[in-house]
Amino acid sequence: MRLWLLAVLGLGVLAGVCGAQRGRARPVLPNITNKTFIDACVREHNKHRTAVRPAAANMLYMTWDAALARTARAWAKKCLFKHSPYLMEKYMSHPHYGHVGENIWTGPYGLFSVTEAIKLWTDEVQHYNLQTNKCTKTCGHYTQVVWDNSHKVGCAVVFCRITAGIRNAAHFICNYVPSGNYPRKPYKAGSSCSLCSKEDTCVDNLCRNPKRDKIIQPQKKKKTLLLLLGTPGTVSQPWEKDTQFITECVNAHNNFRSKVNPPARNMLHMSWDSALAKSAKAWAKRCHFDHNVYLKVPGKVHPNFTPVGENIWTGSLSLFSESAAIRNWYNEVTDYNFETRYCTRMCGHYTQVVWATSYKVGCAVQFCPRVTGFKGLTNGAHFVCNYAPAGNYPTQPYKTGAACSDCNGEKCVDKLC
């Protein structure tokens, strides 16, 4: 019984064994956009789904999902011989599904092939009894491959110098939605396709539907957070090279800066600064709902700017997006009187976003199981942006007048200098 529970929880991991292989160059393994790799992953899964015995009355055709593949790659690159802890966390592993299934194969890179890895998973069928729904040994990889309503798959393989005691290993992960391995049988036995929906057609014993089979591309506003957040307590900074994250942060700031009312005659265009982003990440990782104590200490937050400005947004993972967080700051404009510089409520986030001379920004987001000083929140997104030069001095955030009329000869683009 314990083996079955382990399979339900997705803890069964396969591994090959080999000695150290020295003197070889780092191997080239296919990336997640490689068409041959994608086709092989989809083909091999559907081959085994088609061939189940007894036959399945309700087995869906499986297609590729780019968001799952990116999540698989993000976790695989950590070279950890265990399952992702975020598979059951809403939006952590997929932008549309709360629960994600996962199979892992780890072995010598010279032995890796998509076909053999998936076959090793499905060979567990010999340990599974469909009638009793029991395993004599590990069988959770098999049941996930043939789970009837798991119709999306995304896989990735990475080279690991060492993982699970294997040197020069191929670390292959496939993620699935909807996830399988709940406490029921993986499919309903019966005449092939006899329980397909009316909109489906039967192809190779599988239920196919053009709408369902369409490849899902991840949406920008619900980007898979595992890619951005990394693992709590680890040094994982994909945001540094994530051009979409950087672009979202910069564009959202400049969008609001260009829309100020009254218009600004000296509003500078804002651009990304990696040093500010690194400082934001270092502070965000503390998971404290408080400002960085080093913002005014020379050289502590940025090598060239002192002091440094900072805005913080903390909230539910399911609500987070870069643009939504920055909009939340900007919406404080309703509590700010430009002429008197008086706030009826909090407005310092707004004034920093539109501070005319703050032309550098760097942001980071961190997953926090809990945030000190933010009661009632669990599994939150902790988003920090740093700014240079800092804003929020005892003056107005910008000079009013015709847009760009005080740009000192600089080009005017979208009302920004």
**Tell me: the pLDDT tens digits for 388-397?**
999 888 889 9
pLDDT in tens, 79-129: 998 998 888 876 667 777 878 999 999 999 999 999 999 999 999 999 999
Dump pLDDT digits (tens) for 252-272: 999 999 999 999 999 999 999
Tell me whether strands 360-370 and 378-388 are parallel, antiparallel or unpaired.
antiparallel
Question: b/e string for 323-355 if b means 16 or more Cβ within 10 A?
Answer: bebbebbbebbeebeeeeeeeeeebbbbbbbbb
Q: What is the predicted pLDDT for the residue at 160?
A: 94
Helix (H, G, I), strand (E, B) or coil at 71: helix
- Of 62, 57, 63, nearest to 196 by C-alpha is 57
User: Which pLDDT belongs to residue 340?
Assistant: 87
Distance of CA 132 to CAs 55, 128, 261, 341, Å? 16, 9, 69, 72
Least confident among 14-23, 341-350, 354-363, 386-395: 14-23
Every domain of the chain with CATH number 3.40.33.10 lies at: 2-217, 229-388
Q: How confident is the model at residue 19 (pLDDT cuts 50, 70, 90)?
A: very low
- Tell which CATH classification among 2.30.30.790, 3.40.50.300, 3.40.50.1100, 3.40.33.10 matches the domain 2-217: 3.40.33.10
Average pLDDT value for the chain? 85
Cβ count within 10 A of residue 312: 21
Cα 397 to Cα 240: distance, rounded to the nearest angstrom:
29
Q: Which helix (H) or strand (E) holds 279?
A: helix 274-284
pLDDT of residue 16: 30
Mean pLDDT across 144-170? 95
Q: Among 3.30.750.24, 3.40.33.10, 1.10.10.10, 2.30.30.100, what is the CATH number of 229-388?
A: 3.40.33.10
Q: What is the pTM of this model?
A: 0.56
Whether 154 contacts 112, CB under 8 Å: no
pLDDT, one tens digit per residue, over 24-58 is: 456 789 999 999 999 999 999 999 999 999 999 99
Q: Are 171 and 72 in contact (CB under 8 A)?
A: no
Neighbours of 20 (CB within 10 A): 8
Could you tell me if 308 and 386 are in contact, meaning their C-beta atoms sit under 8 angstroms apart? yes
In the three-class reduction of DSSP (H, G, I as helix; E, B as strand; rest coil), residue 96 is classed as coil
For residue 19 the two structure tokens come to: 């000695």
Alpha-helical runs (H) found in 10-113:
35-50, 66-76
Per-residue pLDDT tens for 180-212?
A: 998 899 999 999 999 999 999 999 999 999 989
Helix, strand, coil tally for the chain in percent (to 5): 30, 20, 50
